[in-house]
DNA sequence: CGGTATCCATTCTGATACTG
DNA sequence: CAGTATCAGAATGGATACCG
């Protein structure tokens, strides 16, 4: 695939979105933005995510500098996650996106129903 | 997986994001927002997307009411895509997201490098 | 509690070839 | 030009079991 004619930003935007724009990362940001700090299993319960995916998602987000991880070596152990400054700055676009999602879910469903009704006949 | 303890909006947000929040849909919105109207192969060249994925993405977006498709039965055929009103309303959160992506790509890369340097030793 | 390791099914994606 | 069909590899995501 040649790059010559592509819009220069599309690759970069796509690159970042494929990192932080996935389903789970967005939901983690929403939850941490709302609650401030959450433990591993609190996030797991809140998001309805599998242990595996939460672990992978949080590790990636920590690597990307979006969340910070604090380990308390108590018994039982306790690990708290919170947004970094970069993660905080991500809040605004994410809340804009999720608010749009909530407000327009009905319209999308309606469009789908209409489209399916029109093509199925 | 039980739903009882989950935040009620997470499922709905996740549902919409998995529809319209994917990499290609976002880039299509960005491109159409910028250019107004584009033909199939113009989008293909601009985004650097495979023919197959563009076809699937546009069909889904048309079904979701985000883009409208206009077929001109000329020879050679000509198909133009543009944003619907719903698609236009999606512009704002999407541009907020892509602007954040562009502005913070460097910070994410820096965080990654630092993280990898710290764990690899 | 907070993970990691393994396995497996599903989905996504691109390359290629073909059609109207 | 604007797709569709088919295939194969990669990525995603859940279930389960186990560890410190």
DSSP B34-102: HHSEEEHHHHHHHHT--HHHHHHHHHHHHHTTSEEEEEE--SS-EEEEEE-HHHHHHHHHHHHHHHHHH
A16/B62 Cα distance (integer angstroms):
25
Give pLDDT, residue B5. Answer: 60
Give the tens place of pLDDT for each residue, B49-104: 999 999 999 999 999 999 999 999 999 999 999 999 999 999 999 889 888 988 99
Taken in order A17, A22, A26, A31, is the CA torsion positive or negative?
Answer: negative
- At B23, the pLDDT band (50, 70, 90 cuts) reads confident
Q: What is the pLDDT of residue B120?
A: 67
Closest alpha carbon within chain A to B102: A13
The pLDDT > 70 percentage for chain B reads 92
Residue nearest to nucleotide D20 (CA to C1'): A77
Residue A49, CA distances (Å) to A56, B3, B58, B84, B121 in order: 11, 10, 29, 33, 32
Which residues 6+ apart lie within 8 Å of A27 measured at CB? A47, A49, B10, B13, B14
Give the architecture (CATH level 2) of A10-119: Orthogonal Bundle (1.10)
> In 3-state terms, chain A is what percent helix, strand and coil (to 5)?
70, 10, 20
The rounded mean pLDDT for chain B is 89
Put simply, whether the predicted model's pTM sits higher than 0.85 gets the answer yes
Chain B environment of A120 (Cβ under 8 Å): none
Q: Can you give the residue ranges of every domain in chain A?
A: 10-119
d(CA A58, C1' D3) / Å: 40
Q: What is the pLDDT along chain A (121 residues), one digit of tens a residue?
A: 444 466 767 777 787 888 788 889 989 999 999 999 999 999 999 999 999 999 999 999 999 999 999 999 999 999 999 999 999 999 999 889 888 988 998 999 999 999 999 886 5
* Side-chain-facing half-sphere of B103: CA atoms under 13 Å: 10
CA of B50 and C1' of D7: distance in angstroms? 16
Nearest to A10 among B18, B19, B47 (CB): B47
pLDDT computed for residue B110 by the predictor = 94
**What pLDDT, on a 0 to 100 scale, did the predictor assign at position A2?**
42
pLDDT (0 to 100) of residue A5: 63
Distance in angstroms (rounded) separating the CA atoms of residues A64 and A67: 8
Res. B1: pLDDT tops 50: no
């Amino acid at each position: 695939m040649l790059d010559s004619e592509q819009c220069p930003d599309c690759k970069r935007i796509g690159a970042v979105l494929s990192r932080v724009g996935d389903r789970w990362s967005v939901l983690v940001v929403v939850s941490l933005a709302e609650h401030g700090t959450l433990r591993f299993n609190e996030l797991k319960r809140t998001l309805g995510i599998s242990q595996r995916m939460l672990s992978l998602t949080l590790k990636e987000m920590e690597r990307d500098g979006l969340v910070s991880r604090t380990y308390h070596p108590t018994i039982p152990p306790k690990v708290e996650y919170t947004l970094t400054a970069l993660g905080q700055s991500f809040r605004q676009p994410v809340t804009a996106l999720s608010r749009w999602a909530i407000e327009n879910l009905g319209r999308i469903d309606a469009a789908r129903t209409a489209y399916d009704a029109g093509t199925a006949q």
